[in-house]
């Protein structure tokens, strides 16, 4: 991860202890003069220093590692009826296959498959990574050039591979591509579908440049285009032309776009840098000025969008939980936009005012409760917001995540995936795996 061995050792010590006292030592590790304040602003993806908020909150590294290992073991290899979401599914010519199931909806989603791959690469689980990627390519990838979804992954299929909806949900493609780039760095490229770099480059090129294709699908006649709006440089809600002029705040992943601007196809790197800036601006437009809450779906100007088939999408609901994670780990990795700190402070202030044990999972943007339950997934995302937050209450959200049980039962898929990713983010183990020579470069 870093070209300086001493810096690597110091970074490891910081993750183990969470000690601010090590920041001065880290300055010398970087072999350049630096004040403590300057070091505090060094980004994880550039320096290799990823904050361990659990350690900073007083938990031992052994307990942190055990919590992460226990969560992975239960969600991937626990009881198949009540605990796990990862299911092995035989072999094909590429090797073992496996999928992650949304238990409540009884389908396999590109979102969950790509999250599973990201979790696997962060935890050095190449076998699980390859099995998930093999299943995704074998059962959800559209390789017919005449199909409107050509070059993308069906966002919803049945566990037997039957497609429910052929169109993509673009966050799946975003996580797929980034996980593949990280796998290329962490494990090296193999052949065919396991040439991770080539697979990521191909996917990113489709996401950026796919032209309009019209054809017949299981949903009837459809037309679809690229996944990023060329004028706004923002991710679309869908490439389906019927709804392509909208977006989803939780699909905006500027931390990933910065990665693509460094390791993606060279011709598009300037666009991905532009996309990162556009998404940071979008967060500030979409977040409510008092609560910090964002809607599930939105227009490119930041206003909420009530989808005709789902009018409640104008509110803060299940998709929107993830938006704070996105702006917060972008700040933690790249330190490009201090507005992320303001957004996290605003959001956490709202939830703290509701009571850390009392806030619920769905709200109108101005803070009116729309249900009566608190869920692990939102608790997890609010803890990740602490990566950018500046106020003392941020540590309370970290403790709240620590106290959560590993999700089980009917709703374990979404809660479980967000919980698992949050553990990695908050422990400093969710990292940008970049080629060594890029660690301290800006594009």
Known catalytic residue at 65: no
Asked whether the beta carbons of 116 and 97 are under 8 A apart, the reply is: no
221: part of which helix (H) or strand (E)? strand 220-224
pLDDT at 20: 30
Q: List phi, psi (to 5°) of 316.
A: -80, 105
Residue 31 has pLDDT above 60, yes or no: no
Asked whether the beta carbons of 252 and 283 are under 8 A apart, the reply is: yes
Known catalytic residue at 174: no
85-245 is a CATH 3.40.50.2300 domain: no
53-82+247-443 is a CATH 1.10.10.10 domain: no
Q: How far apart are CA 353 and CA 376, in angstroms?
A: 19
Q: How far apart are CA 312 and CA 310, in angstroms?
A: 5
86: part of which helix (H) or strand (E)? strand 86-92
Q: How far apart are CA 408 and CA 81, in angstroms?
A: 9
Residue 40 has pLDDT above 70, yes or no: no
Residue 324 has pLDDT above 90, yes or no: yes
| Alpha-carbon dihedral angle through residues 233, 234, 237, 242, given to the nearest 10 degrees | -30
pLDDT at 255: 98
Of 160, 91, 166, 152, which is closest to residue 127 (Cα–Cα)? 91
- Tell me which of 240, 319, 345, 440 is the catalytic residue: 319
* Numbered ranges of CATH 1.50.10.10 in the chain: 53-82+247-443, 85-245
Asked whether the beta carbons of 79 and 87 are under 8 A apart, the reply is: no
Asked whether the beta carbons of 48 and 57 are under 8 A apart, the reply is: no
Give tens-digit pLDDT for 384-441: 999 999 999 999 999 999 999 999 999 999 999 999 999 999 999 999 999 987 754 4
Q: What percent of the chain has pLDDT over 90?
A: 87
pLDDT at 46: 80
- How many residues in the chain? 443
Report the Cα 44 to chain-centroid distance in Å: 16
Asked whether the beta carbons of 380 and 339 are under 8 A apart, the reply is: no
Give tens-digit pLDDT for 178-232: 999 999 999 999 999 999 999 999 999 999 999 999 999 999 999 999 999 999 9
- Tell me which of 111, 173, 315, 345 is the catalytic residue: 111
Vertex 335: Cα angle to 260 and 63 (nearest 5)? 95
**Burial class of residue 252 in the structure, from the number of CB atoms within 10 Å of its CB (0-12 exposed, 13-18 middle, 19+ buried):** buried
Asked whether the beta carbons of 364 and 312 are under 8 A apart, the reply is: no
Count of alpha carbons within 13 Å of 21, Cβ hemisphere only? 3
Q: Which letter does DSSP use for residue 112 in this model? A: H
pLDDT at 442: 47
CB atoms within 10 A of CB 67: 17
Give tens-digit pLDDT for 342-394: 999 999 999 999 999 999 999 999 999 999 999 999 999 999 999 999 999 99
Range name among 35-49, 136-150, 283-297, 360-374 with the lowest pLDDT average? 35-49
Give tens-digit pLDDT for 246-264: 999 999 999 999 999 999 9
Check the CA dihedral 39-45-48-52 and report its sign: positive
pLDDT at 43: 82
pLDDT at 436: 85
């Amino acid at each position: 991860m870093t070209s300086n061995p001493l810096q690597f050792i110091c970074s490891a010590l910081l993750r183990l202890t969470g000690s601010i006292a090590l920041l001065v030592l880290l300055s010398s590790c970087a072999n350049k003069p630096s004040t403590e304040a300057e070091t505090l602003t060094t980004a994880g993806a550039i320096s290799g220093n990823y904050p361990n908020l659990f350690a900073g909150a007083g938990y031992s590294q052994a307990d942190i590692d055990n919590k992460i290992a226990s969560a992975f073991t239960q969600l991937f290899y626990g009881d198949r009826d009540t605990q796990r979401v990862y299911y092995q599914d035989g072999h094909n010519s590429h090797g073992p296959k496996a999928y992650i199931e949304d238990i409540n909806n009884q389908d396999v989603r590109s979102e969950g498959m790509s999250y599973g791959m990201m979790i696997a690469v962060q935890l050095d689980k190449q076998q699980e990574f390859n099995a998930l990627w093999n299943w995704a390519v074998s059962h959800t990838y559209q390789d017919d050039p005449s199909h409107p979804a050509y070059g993308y992954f069906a966002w919803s299929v049945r566990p037997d591979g039957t497609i429910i909806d052929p169109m993509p949900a673009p966050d799946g493609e975003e996580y797929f591509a980034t996980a593949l780039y990280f796998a290329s760095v962490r494990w090296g490229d193999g052949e065919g579908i396991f040439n991770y770099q080539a697979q990521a480059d191909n996917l990113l090129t489709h996401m950026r440049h796919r032209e309009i294709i019209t054809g017949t699908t299981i949903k009837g006649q459809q037309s679809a285009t690229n996944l990023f709006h060329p004028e706004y440089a923002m991710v679309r809600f869908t490439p389906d032309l019927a709804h392509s002029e909208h977006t989803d705040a939780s699909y905006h992943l500027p931390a990933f776009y910065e990665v693509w601007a460094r390791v993606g196809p060279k011709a598009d790197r300037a666009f991905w840098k532009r996309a990162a800036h556009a998404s940071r601006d979008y967060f500030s437009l979409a977040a409510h000025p008092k609560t910090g809450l964002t809607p599930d779906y939105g227009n490119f100007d930041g206003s909420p969008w009530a989808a005709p088939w789902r009018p409640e999408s104008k509110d803060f609901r299940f998709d929107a939980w993830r938006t704070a994670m996105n702006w917060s780990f972008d700040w933690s990795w790249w330190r490009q936009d201090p507005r992320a700190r303001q957004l996290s402070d605003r959001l956490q202030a709202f939830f703290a005012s509701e009571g850390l044990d009392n806030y619920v999972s769905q709200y109108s943007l101005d803070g009116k409760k729309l249900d009566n339950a608190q869920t692990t997934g939102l608790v997890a995302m609010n803890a990740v917001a602490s990566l950018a937050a500046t106020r003392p209450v941020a540590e309370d959200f970290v403790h709240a995540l620590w106290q959560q049980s590993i999700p089980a039962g009917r709703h374990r898929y979404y809660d479980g995936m967000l919980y698992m990713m949050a553990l990695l983010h908050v422990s400093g183990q969710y990292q940008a795996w970049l080629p060594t020579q890029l660690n301290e470069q800006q594009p």
